[in-house]
Structure 1
């Protein structure tokens, strides 16, 4: 099992000690470091800053939001980071949700799959640099000829020659259609709250995408990178309680009523009633009660918490079920070392 250190996005201030975490992750044998963005810090700058202290680990975004940048601008970020890192960039993309897209970026959320398809096509054109970039679709027309255009738009190729035309593009996806799209047009799937209990269902969604005409890869050449809280401890209770606070936020506070993609994930797992209760409590401002309503089983379905032997067994189970990389968060250097030592193979 490959390991990726998930640094996430920043809160009110930059996280303390992140640079040391990145250095230790590389030293301990982690395969990648990932950053994210919401509506504060961006994902590319920390990778360039902290990644400059590394030589081997992949530097990935999990995820950058499509509406934050035009496709060409996103490709510019990716090709620049790829050059600076010597070919270690992984471009993880996601659509985010309607509250962020329309409330923060000021763009329409509708047609997320069609927007993603056009976006990835343009990014790939930029990275291939075989011809001036064009797109006839309605979401990202190039050249632009719509309202306000002066009619002088010109199709261009990037001045800078990309280091790799095949720079990996991974898609963050939660629903069946998005996962199938990832299998069709991307090189990997960034899975949030993946559960081995639904592995067969996920493989069906992926198979649909791989079977489409022109699909980019087969299952063997495709990476499933699952976010997973992995904690090695002989006293799981505190870690489980912390996970419940985070899950209550994502199930009750992320997304709009009636359109919370994280909540939909757990409803598919069979927790629809629990999700409804958590959302109602969170909406009332009763956050501690919402966290208490998160079942232990729900945490166990999507996280690996326990003694070293249990962790090794569960990681092996996740790998056998189809996960190629675990994206894990670590609070300090000690956790990085402990996890790496626990999963080290002879």
Structure 2
């Protein structure tokens, strides 16, 4: 077991980083192909390619590929990239290896706000969900930080994780209570509340594209600042880093990305926790490469999980949020038990 006083990992070579990026892109391309080709009805890749290149066909295959699988794949790409990068930024800003939008209750806050918007104001559609998701995510983040700040464990990694778990459980319970007392609302959102890509269209992807891209661009720009922040607040400040500003921008990016993902696909869990840890083994301590690789690997994981959910529950479907939770929960437990959880 690694000592908490061990030296930080050495930066990876540029050739290794470029190779890891190329490999990640290939994996993502394969995940996209699987997402479009496989489901309750497998379709040969050649037929898929012909359908995508000639979108005018109106037969059953055309409806399945263009009307169902391509839109859910595009939404999966955007939501996955948003969740992966949100997790990477959160871990860098808080120097907390347990930070993740689902673990710290941000996804739960966004989900509750969306449900409240539907129940109280009758909003409908992803465009209407977005502002509620942003507000809910921001309030949840502030609540978790406030609880952790006054708790005995303080703002330590485990302290933040415990505060996030409490807030997430409380908010999820309230969301469930609202849903079970409203039959029509429960029927409308029973799949969305666990995280789902089924039933999405290109309109949903179009609505979240702008906030996700804005969040990704800002996150990439934060990479160098997060590297400096990893040296510690005092040293970062002595090097001219505006620590409070970096943390504020990082929080804004997290809310923007997590809120967009929740509005489109529901509160998908653990993608932002597992992926940054996996890619950091390749990228080393450089947050610029960690963020880049997270933006590529996270959507690949989400799409593969979506395909698994379609295949294992045939002829039905296991929602993607359930599959990612099954994948991510053991990772979370391993991290909590590790001495490396002391900080990044």
TM-score, scaled relative to structure 2? 0.27
The structure with the largest strand share of the pair is 1
Larger relative helix fraction = 2
